[in-house]
A = this chain, B = another copy of it.
Amino acid sequence: MKYPNGIKQQNSNNNHINYDNRGMTLEKDLNDTNQYYIDTGKAYIYKKPTPIQITKVDYPSRSHAVIKEAFFKEPSTTDYNGLYKGKYIDFEAKETNSKTSFPLDNIHKHQIKHLENVYNNDGIGFIIVRFNKLNKTYILMAKDLLSFLKENERKSIPLKYFEDYAYLIEEKYIPRLDYLKIIDELLGGA
C-alpha cells in the first residue's frame, strides 16, 4: 500500500514491537528508563564509558589531542552503575536471539568477577537479559548468576533457569523497563 507524501507505513499492529534496530533496543530502553529515574528523582543510574586502550595520540595544537590509534579493551566492569536509595546498583545488559538459552560468552570473565565483588560488598548486582525472539526481559541477580556458574560447566544458561530464578521485567510505555520495581520488591517493599 502506498501512502501520500512519501510517508512509509509503520507497523500497523501496535502490539508488535519494531525490532529493526535490534542491537540498540535494549540499550536505548535502559537509557530512557535511567533518564526517567533521574528526571523523577527516583535513582541515579548511568552508563559507564567503553574501555579503550590508547596507543597513539597526536597533539596538533596545545589544547587538542587526537587519538590516532586505539583498541577496544575487554571490559573489566559492567556497563551500568549508580545508586538507588543510597545503595550501590551495578549491572550488565545483554540481548540474545536464542529462544532456549543465554550464551555465556556474552559476558566476560572479568565482568563476572566484578559482579562477585559487588555482591561480596553488599551491593545490588545483576544482569538484565532480553530474549529478543521471545520478547521477554529478565533480571537475574548476581547471587543466582554466581550460583549457576558454580554448579554448572555449561556454556549457556537455559531459559528454564531464568524462568525459575530470574524476574520478568514488565515492559511499559514510561518507564520502558521498570527494573527498579523488582529491586524494590527484593529489598522488601518500596
Q: How far is the CA of A19 from the CA of B96 in the complex (A)?
A: 51
How many monomers of this protein are in the complex?
A: 2
Give complex CA distance A43, B72 in Å. Answer: 28
Q: Any chain B CB within 8 A of the CB of A180?
A: no
Known: A70-B67, A70-B70. A85 touches B122 (CB 8 A): yes
Closest partner residue, chain B, to A67 (CB atom): B70
Q: Interface size on A (CB < 8 Å)?
A: 38
A52 within 8 A of B: yes
0/1 string, A43-80, CB within 8 A of B gives 1: 11010111110100000000011111111110011000
A51 contact set on B, CB distance < 8 A: 49
Shortest Cβ distance from A50 into B: residue: B49
Chain B residues with CB under 8 A of A72: 65, 67
A127 CB, nearest partner CB in chain B, Å: 17
The residues of A with any CB-CB pair to B shorter than 8 Å are 38, 41, 43-44, 46, 48-52, 54, 64-73, 76-77, 81-89, 117-118, 120-123
Identify 17 residue pairs between A and B in the complex whose beta-carbon atoms are under 8 Å apart, listed by A's number: A44-B117, A48-B77, A49-B49, A49-B50, A52-B52, A52-B70, A65-B72, A66-B69, A66-B71, A67-B70, A67-B71, A67-B72, A83-B88, A83-B122, A85-B121, A85-B122, A86-B123
